[in-house]
Amino acid sequence: MPTNEELFARARRVMPGGVSSPVRAFGAVGGTPRFAAKAKGAWITDAEGREYVDLVGSWGPMILGHAHPEVVAAIHRAVDASPSFGAPCLPELALAEKIVSMVEPVERVRFTSSGTEAVMTAVRLARGATGRDKIIKFAGCYHGHSDSLLAAAGSGVATLGLPDSPGVTGGTAADTLVLPYGRLDLVEEAFAAGGDLIAAVVTEAVPANMGVIVPPAGFNKGLREICDRYGAKLIVDEVLTGFRVGPTGYWGAAGRDEGWAPDLLTYGKIVGGGLPMSAVAGGAALMDLLAPAGPVYQAGTLSGNPAAAAAGLATLELASADVYSHLDAVSVQLRGLITDALSEAGVPHRINNWGNLFSVFFTGDQVTDYESAKKQDTAAFGRFFHTLLDEGVWLAPSSFEAWFVSDALGDRELEVIAAALPKAAHAAARG
C-alpha cells in the first residue's frame, strides 16, 4: 500500500502543487495531505487505511454524511440511464422545481457546475440587466476564482496569504470595489461617489471563507435598501450556506423575517449532493434575461447533469427538519467541547457561529471582518490541526475555513473528538 507521502510526491510530479484545489495541499499547516480512499457516514479512510472522523464533508456538500445509501442509489439510477445527455432531462427539471418550491423569491433556476460559475453568471446577469460595469465585494468573502471576484478573496487566497492573483487584468480588477465587511456606511459612500456605475453588490449570506463572520444586525437588509436606491442588483451567495444552516439557508432562516429579498441567489455544494452542480436563482424578470430567453449568454456542456441533479434532489429531500435539528445539536456539543479544551489549556480563542456553521479563531479578540480574522495565531492552529489529525479527526487544514457538521455524526464520533481535543489544545498552547 503506497503511503500518503509517496502519493503526494507522485502527485506533485504531474499536478501543480500535487492537488486540484490549493487548500488541500496543507500549505498553511505543513505536512502531507492525506489521500482519501473512501468515506462512509461520518468517517473517511485515507490511502494508508487510517480512519478519521470527518469535519469537512467535502467542504460542505455531505450534509447527510458520506455515501448516504439513498443518495448513492439515486446516482446509480441516473447513471444507468447515462451519465450525461447534453439535453433537457427530468432530474434537472425536478431539482429546479424543488428549489423554486423551497425558496420564495426564486422563480427560475439556471444550473451550472461549480460555485465559481454560478457567481460569475450572476455577476454577468447583473451587469447585463443594469448596463453598468462595477461590482462591490467584501474583503475576505470568497465567491470562487473568476477574474472579477478574486480581489481580497477569502478561502485559499486567505489561507495562503496571496496578494491579488497574477493573471487578472488591471481592467477587470478596477471594476471590482472591495470594501471591509459589515460597514454599511462605506457601502453608502461608494454608491454616493459612483452609484450609477455599480451593477451589483455581491456578498456571502453569512461569510464563512475567512472563518465564519456573523453579519451585523440589518447588514444584508441595509445592502438591499442601498441597492434599491441606486438601481443596483443584490447578489446573495449561498453556495456554502444554502440548505446547510436551515432548510433553505440564510435566506430562509433570517432574510424573509426581515422582509427583504435578494435579486439573485447562488447555490452549490449541497444542491449537487457531492457531485459537481451549482445554480443561479432569482425572480423571472431578471433570470429570463439569460439566453435563450434573453440576451445574456451563459452555457455549459455538462450543465444540469442528470447524476448531479439526482444526487442534489435526493439530498434536499432527505434533509428534513430532524436533520437540521441534529446538525444544530451536534454543532452546539462540538463547540462546547472545543471551547472547554482550549480554555482549559489556556489558549485564547473565539468561536463564531451561524446556526450549525462555525469556525474557531485562535485569538482572544472579537472577529468581525477580514482584518480581525487575519490577526489569529495560525501557527497555534497548525499544531492543533496536526494533533487532531494524528488522533483521527479530519478538519479543514486552515483556520480561515468553516467546520462542517453532518447528520452522520453521533455519540461515537463525538467521543473520538472529545478524547482528542485536550491533547490538541495543549499542543496549540505550546508556542
The binding site for ligand PMP (CB under 6 A) comprises: 59, 114-116, 119, 142-144, 155, 204, 209, 237, 239-240, 268
State the minimum distance, in angstroms, from the CB of residue 113 to ligand PMP: 8
- Please, what is the Cα angle at 145 between 21 and 359, to 5 degrees? 70
At 238, list the grid cell.
449561498
Tally of CB atoms within 10 A around 21: 11
Closest by CA position to 255, among listed 68, 390, 106, 76: 106
Cβ closer to ligand PMP: 401 or 407? 401
State the minimum distance, in angstroms, from the CB of residue 430 to ligand PMP: 32
Cβ closer to ligand PMP: 206 or 420? 206
Phi and psi at residue 166, in whole multiples of 5°? Answer: -60, 150
- E strands in 18-170: 36-40, 43-46, 51-54, 108-112, 134-138
State the minimum distance, in angstroms, from the CB of residue 250 to ligand PMP: 11
State the minimum distance, in angstroms, from the CB of residue 103 to ligand PMP: 16
Burial 344-374 (b: 16+ CB within 10 A, else e): ebebbbbbbbbbbbbbbbbbeeebbbbebbb
Q: What angle in degrees, to the nearest 10, is found between the helix axes of 184-194 and 219-230? A: 10
Cβ closer to ligand PMP: 282 or 416? 282
User: What are the catalytic residues?
Assistant: 142, 237, 269
Cβ closer to ligand PMP: 127 or 143? 143
Cβ closer to ligand PMP: 118 or 334? 118
At 29, list the grid cell.
499547516
Q: Which residue(s) pair with 400 in the sheet?
A: none
User: Using CA atoms, how far apart are residues 411 and 419, in angstroms rounded to an integer?
Assistant: 12
List Cα–Cα distances, 279 to 67, 138, 262, 314, 330, in angstroms: 22, 21, 15, 16, 28
What letter represents residue 213's amino acid? I
Cβ closer to ligand PMP: 153 or 420? 153
User: Using CA atoms, how far apart are residues 371 and 132, in angstroms rounded to an integer?
Assistant: 30
State the minimum distance, in angstroms, from the CB of residue 209 to ligand PMP: 5
State the minimum distance, in angstroms, from the CB of residue 192 to ligand PMP: 28
